Amino acid sequence: MDAKTKIEQGATALGIEFGSTRIKGVLIDWDGNVLAVGGHEWENSLVDGIWTYDLADVDAGLRACYNDLRRNVEERYGVTPVTFGAIGISAMMHGYIALDREDRQLARFQTWRNTNTTAAADELTELFQFNIPLRWSVAHLYQRILDGEEHVDRIASVFTLAAYMHYRLTGQKVIGIGDAAGMFPIDSEALDYDQGMVEKFDTLMAAHGKNLKLREVFPKVLVAGENAGCLTPEGAALLDESGKLKAGIPLCPPEGDAGTGMTATNSVAPRTGNLSAGTSTFAMVVLEKKLSKLYREIDMVTTPSGFPCAMSHANNGTSDLNAWVGLFQEFCDLMGLEADLGTLFGRLYTHSLAGDPDCGGLLPYGYYSGENITFLNEGRPLFVRTPDSRFTLANFMRANLYTSLGAVRLGMDILLKEEKVPLDRIMGHGGLFKTPGVMQRYLAAAVNTPVTVMATASEGGAWGIALLAAYLADGKRDGRLEEYLEKRIFAGLAGEAVIPDPKDVEGFEIFTRRYQAGLEIERAAISCVDW
């Protein structure tokens, strides 16, 4: 079939991912070929000290993204999609959306970016003897209890953003196991929440006088390939304001951006890894065995099919980098120079290759929010240099690109140097890898491992969740998810590996030592800069 026929017959999969700054939709065929894309820009807000999105903006963003994709299909193929083989919803992991029994929102949506859960995360980590990061849903829930918030007694459901939007579209209170691993610890053998820890949590709730059972309020865990419900008439109307989309389309389990990143880079089998570079930056390594001990810097999550996976997750990625490029665009406008953002990003990134391997002694911190890996609960963007630093444009850009990997690098040092975790390959994806040969080279230096970037890297997690939807609809006959991706999706895709350059590796080592030492400056800024 040609693409138009596939669309007409619904031999397609639609993936929509709610990223930090962009909601993106990708339509693919059963072999993963991208047929159309759509998007909608949005941004979080800091309201009363809480990083959040209004849920009305979530609904509006979903419709805007889908409508953009639908219009692109109509313009390119002359046909309006009325059905798909399957749909998948993905979003930023973690966070806290609480609803009552009438599905009314009880408290402000708290995103992964919030670090106001230290007391809860510390107590739960001690209780479970398992690292509970600040951004995990269970930490948010327990912190609400510790803070005595009134709404807790009326909670009927707690969701991540992906699980919430899936619920809106299907009426099913379910979640993919990878996203569930950002809510509560997972037992990879049972493919479910860890029952022993569930019992400890329920006992803790009773001790606080709360009639709250974790399995009653958290969504049910599903793995890749399981049917997670179908698009309801109300869901179809929410998604497609034109009214042409039919109900009854199956949906795959909703996943977080970590799981879709692993899928989009074929990094779901042991000894593989990937790094997703965006507003937050995180590296994932699929494990052959458990780590030797608990590390507060490392999150233990899973692949979409349940394999244990170690995550080095940095809350802060490219926000400050994007702000600097925006400043350069403002300068170009002032000087009457025509330069769109895409051109600026490409040229500035490429120019960074002319910089010194250690960035010439320049040291930025793009800490817009707290950073769990470096144990900071707030952030202040900083740029530091000495009088004799080599303050050139190339070094400036190189330092900002390096620092987007700075916190993640500290976590990867634990995995690769202390735990000796075997890693055969690491894949890069996300918009930061759009400029060929730049971020790929720096990541290879940071982890001293060959790094591959596929042609599909810039499609990111939206393509990943579309693949999970395609796996539900047509891919299970190829075997497990790992086999489906290896044999059917990635077998013919081109990707060039970059081998670490020894000079870059040494330069990144020097930069990392400065980064660690300079954290005292960041701590001082948090203490002193409060206006």
Whether 420 maps to a domain, the answer reads yes
Q: How far apart are CA 432 and CA 529, in angstroms?
A: 30
Whether 474 maps to a domain, the answer reads yes
Q: Are residues 368 and 415 in the same domain?
A: no
Q: Are residues 488 and 516 in the same domain?
A: no
Q: What's the domain count of the chain?
A: 2
Which residue stretches of 257-314 are H helix?
257-264
Q: Are residues 489 and 346 in the same domain?
A: no
Q: Are strands 272-277 and 425-429 parallel, antiparallel or unpaired?
A: parallel
Q: Are 121 and 136 in contact (CB under 8 A)?
A: yes
Q: Are 443 and 451 in contact (CB under 8 A)?
A: yes
Q: Are residues 413 and 451 in the same domain?
A: yes
Question: Two tokens at 376?
Answer: 């900071």
Whether 166 maps to a domain, the answer reads no
Q: Are residues 351 and 377 in the same domain?
A: yes
Helices (H) and strands (E) in the chain, counts: 19, 22
Q: What local confidence, expressed as pLDDT, does residue 457 receive?
A: 57
Q: How far apart are CA 362 and CA 80, in angstroms?
A: 52
Q: Are residues 392 and 414 in the same domain?
A: no
Q: Are residues 307 and 412 in the same domain?
A: yes
CA dihedral 41→279→530→377, nearest 10 degrees, is 130
Q: What local confidence, expressed as pLDDT, does residue 497 receive?
A: 86
Neighbours of 514 (CB within 10 A): 17
Whether 44 maps to a domain, the answer reads no
Q: How far apart are CA 193 and CA 341, in angstroms?
A: 44
Instruction: Give the CA diameter of the chain.
Output: 66
Domain of 417 in residue numbering reads as: 259-314+408-499
Q: How far apart are CA 203 and CA 132, in angstroms?
A: 17
Q: How far apart are CA 460 and CA 254, in angstroms?
A: 16
Q: Are residues 382 and 429 in the same domain?
A: no
Q: How far apart are CA 175 and CA 223, in angstroms?
A: 8
Whether 181 maps to a domain, the answer reads no
Q: Are 397 and 355 in contact (CB under 8 A)?
A: yes
What average pLDDT values come out for the chain (531 residues) when binned by 10 residues?
Answer: 96 96 96 96 93 96 98 97 98 95 97 91 96 95 97 97 98 98 95 98 97 97 97 98 96 95 89 85 90 92 94 90 95 94 94 98 95 91 97 98 96 95 86 87 93 73 95 92 92 82 98 97 95 78
Q: Are residues 511 and 390 in the same domain?
A: yes
Q: How far apart are CA 203 and CA 200, in angstroms?
A: 5
Question: Two tokens at 447?
Answer: 């982890």
| pTM for the structure as a whole | 0.83
Q: How far apart are CA 499 and CA 419, in angstroms?
A: 22
Q: Are residues 377 and 398 in the same domain?
A: yes
Q: How far apart are CA 454 and CA 491, in angstroms?
A: 12
| Domain CATH for 480 | 3.30.420.40
First to last CA, the chain: 61
Q: Are residues 358 and 384 in the same domain?
A: yes
Q: Scanning the structure block, which residue is given the tokens 């929010």?
A: 369
Q: What is the DSSP string of 366-403?
A: --SS-BTTTTBSS---EEE--TTS---HHHHHHHHHHH
Q: Are residues 420 and 490 in the same domain?
A: yes
